[in-house]
Structures are given as C-alpha cells and as structure tokens.
Amino acid sequence: MTSAGTTSDLVRRAARIGEDVAAPAADDVDRKARFPVEAFEALRADGLLAALVPQEFGGPGASVGAVAEAVEALARHCASTAMVFAMHQLQVACLVRHGRSALLRDYQRLLASQQPLLASATTEIGVGGDIRTSICAVESAEGRFRLEKKAPVISYGENADGVLATARRSPESPPNDQVLVLCIAPGLSLEVISGWDTLGFRGTCSPGFVLKAEGDDGCVFDDPFADIATRTMLPVSHILWSSVWLGLASAAVDRARRFVRSEARKTPGVTSPAAVRLAELMTIFQQMEEQVRGLARRYEEVCDDPEALSTMGFAIAMNNLKVSASTLVVDIVGRAMIICGIAGYREDSPYSLGRLLRDAHGAAVMVNNDRILANNAQMLLVHKE
Amino acid sequence: MRDTQGVDREIRAILDEHGRLPVAASTLKEDADLYQAGLTSHASVSVMLALEDAFDIEFPERMLKKSTFESVMAIHNALLELIAEVA
C-alpha cells in the first residue's frame, strides 16, 4: 500500500498511468468496446483505487477534490478509463461517508489492502430512470438479507468485485423508502441481459444485468438512501463526471493548440483564423475549468456539514454543474474540430477528434439533462436565494 | 389565530392533497417519518408550496431541507417558528 499522498502526488501518478498505460490502449478499448484492463491493473498496483479510504482504515485519505483532479488527468488520455475510475470512487465515497456497520468498516480496510473495483446498480427496469424510486426490495430474516434486481445498466458489471445497489427497505416499504446495499462475493451473482454497443464511452462496458445478492444484514447501510443520495452521491457524482468531461475537453483543446502551432510554424508572423478560433475556445474552456474546480471546492467546504449539504441551494448548484459541464464539453470538442478542420475529422491523424466527440455526447444523456433540469425547475418553485 | 390542533389538521389536509402518500395522513403519528411513509422529494415541494399559501408564510433557504418536512411535528414546529416571526 502506498503511503498518504498529497493532491499533486496523486494527480501525478494518475497522469503517468494515463499517459503510459491508458493512452496506448484507448483506441483499442474504444474499437472493441472492451474494459480497459491494463489501466485498471496499473491503477490498482499504484494503490489509486483506494485513494479515498481514510487513514484509520489503512488508506491515504485523499479528498474528493484530489480524486477529481486525478480523474481529469486520466480523462485526457482515455475517457472510458476515467469514467470507470470516477464511478468506482463514487461508490467508495458513499462507503467512506456512510458505511458505519462493523461489516462496512471492515470492507473499507479490505478496500485499502486489496482494492476491489466497485460498481453501481441504482437504476432499475420499470422505474423510468428515476434513481430515487425502487421496485425491488430487501428481504431480511435472521440477520441475513436477500435481494434481486433487474438493472438496465451496470457499468463494468462483469469486471466489478462488488456492487452498491438500491432497493426498497422492505417488501412493505413505499417505492421511495430506499436503502443502499453492498453486494459482494460469495453471495453476489450477475446475469447479463443486454449488450453495450454505443456511440461513446464504449470501454465502460455497461450492459443490463439481473443482480442476485444475499449476505449479512451489515451490508445494508444505516443512512436512508435519500440522505446518501443528497449528501454524497449527487454532489460527488456531478463533480467526478464533470472532471471526466473537463479532461476530455482539455484533450480536445490540446489537439487544437498543437494543430494551430504546427500551422503557425509554416507561416510565421501571420495570425491564422484558426489561431483566433483557438483564443476564443480558451475563453470557453476556462469557464468550464473554473466551474468544475469551483464546485469541487464548494463541496469540500461543506462536505462534513450534513445540513449544508441538504439545502436546496446546494443541490441546485450541483445539478447546474452537471448540466453546464456536459453541454460545454460538446461545444468545446466541436470548436476544436473547426480549428483542426479535416485533420481533426480524419480518424488516422494525430489531431483526430472522432472518439472525443463521440464520448462527449455521452455526457448529456448519462442521467439525462432534461431530468436534472426538471428537478431544478421543481426546486426553484420554492428556492429563494 | 389558529390553535395547535387546527394547524395539525391543516397540515394533514395539505399532505392528503399534495403529498401523494399511499396512506391517509390522519393515520400517521405526528412524529412518523413522512419519507418512509412515501413522501417523495418531488411531492414535498408541492407540500411546501401549499403550506406557504395556506399559512401565508415563506420558508427561508435554511429551512428548505429534508428534515424540515420529515414529520407532521417537524412541519408544525417550522410553521410555529415562522408564524412567531411574522407576529
């Protein structure tokens, strides 16, 4: 296990793995829609899957802000790798901040020593994408639970060592009275029920599954899922996903910058239209960068204050981050395409933007922006500030 | 001026009309968890709006959180605080 690291150390290690391991495999991962195995072997070997585990359980106790920067560094090289890494860290964040049973505390020690990869099963077939509603229910008897859930999507389910799943608290509970359950071997089985052949983020390998799990009642989180969702899952997911998109946008900007520079070398002293377009692109990129970093800081300022995390103002701001960053990333990659021209449009050029453009379009549809805006619209009816 | 029982009755009437609970609000104890009883965050906003209208108050930002609306008693306490501020 690597020792506690500073933010810059964590980011440097993620950037090195991104450059040396994820980047060379990125096109193959994308083409074959395969899991980025080599990147995750390297991330595990370097202790990065346990980055958020507190020092008391043997982890380095990194902050969400530090992990966000590591996610961004990976995303410059392979957005699928970065997205899987981000989703895993989100599960770890839920465990670290809400896992209080003896079993869930022990699991954090195991996370630090063995670094299992954790996936998420929050959506369910039949609820129309609303993660705050469940059909399936935890059945508990004599200290053991059973759960069966039909999930339309479990990202990297086949490569995960454990899954955090939502379910109704009991078979008698209403659809919104949910709990979060850690589902792990030997009581976990996943049966694939659909494929994953998508425009982008192909390496996240996110087909549907029937999840069957049983285990000790200690696997069920004490905090209601409503609180976990509001205080941790919503803000941390939006920060980490936006960091993926920021890294992706930064890769596009980098290609545009290199293209403009190589053109400028051919005609010294002349400011080309592409160079002006690049200057314009940087204003938008800076807007995105400051927004992602600013909201990550805002979360860190209040992350230990459940009251502040539970206000509508905070939820609206975190939703705005998701909608804004997911829109800006498409805009930025599109502008980079205009700058690079045919060199960006080609699949066989060093300035190729095809994979980045396809990945960028995933941002608005993973938890659809329309659903998020509808939630904000509802909250804004009573929100006053 | 409303009496305590009147406030309680009005809260329950608003929950019945806007809370979309699977059970009648009159069956709930005053400290029963409304979210466990089926109140969604979406429906809770409708309840807030109806309460603001019925009691002619506005919930300030500091009260716009889950715990303010978690039970009939919690809503009652929040209303009493706001009505006292107005008076």
Edge to edge, the sheet with strand A139-141 lists: A139-141, A144-151, A209-216, A188-192
Partners of B36 on chain A (C-beta within 8 Å) are 169, 173-174, 177, 224
Give the chain B residue nearest A173 (alpha carbons).
B36
Q: Do A382 and B65 touch (CB under 8 A)?
A: no
Partners of A175 on chain B (C-beta within 8 Å) are 38
Q: Do A230 and B66 touch (CB under 8 A)?
A: yes
Give the closest of A174, A227, A310 to B38, CB-based.
Answer: A174
In one letter, which amino acid is B22? P
Instruction: List all residues of chain A from 166 to 225 with a beta carbon under 8 Å from chain B.
Output: 169, 173-177, 224
* pLDDT of A292 higher than 50: yes
Give every CB contact of residue A28 below 8 A, 6+ residues apart in sequence: A34
Q: Do B61 and A385 touch (CB under 8 A)?
A: yes
Q: Do A226 and B35 touch (CB under 8 A)?
A: yes
Give the closest of B22, B48, B60 to A174, CB-based.
Answer: B22
pLDDT in tens, B13-50: 999 999 999 999 999 999 999 999 999 988 999 999 99
Q: pTM score, two decimals?
A: 0.94
Between CA A298 and CA A215, with CA A231 as vertex, the angle to 5 degrees is 140
- Whether the CB-CB separation of A333 and A357 falls below 8 Å is answered with yes
pLDDT in tens, A106-123: 999 999 999 999 999 999
Q: Up-side HSE of residue A97: CA atoms within 13 Å toward CB?
A: 28
pLDDT in tens, A153-207: 999 999 999 999 999 999 999 999 999 999 999 999 999 999 999 999 999 999 9
Q: What is the mean pLDDT of chain B?
A: 91
Q: What local confidence, expressed as pLDDT, does residue A175 receive?
A: 94
Q: Which residue has the higher pLDDT, A268 or A212?
A: A212
Give which of A222, A382, A383, A384 to mutate to test B binding, by max B Cβ within 10 Å: A382
Edge to edge, the sheet with strand A118-121 lists: A118-121, A162-168, A178-184
Q: Do B35 and A224 touch (CB under 8 A)?
A: yes
* pLDDT of B66 higher than 90: no
Which residue in A93, A115, A114, A96 sits closest to A105, CA to CA? A96
User: A385 by DSSP, 3-state: which?
Assistant: coil
Residues of B with CB under 8 A from a CB of A: 22, 35-42, 45, 48-49, 52, 58-62, 64-67
**ipTM at complex level:** 0.81
Round to whole Å and give the CA distance between A119 and A172.
Answer: 27
Which residue in A247, A343, A382, A345 sits closest to B41, CA to CA? A382
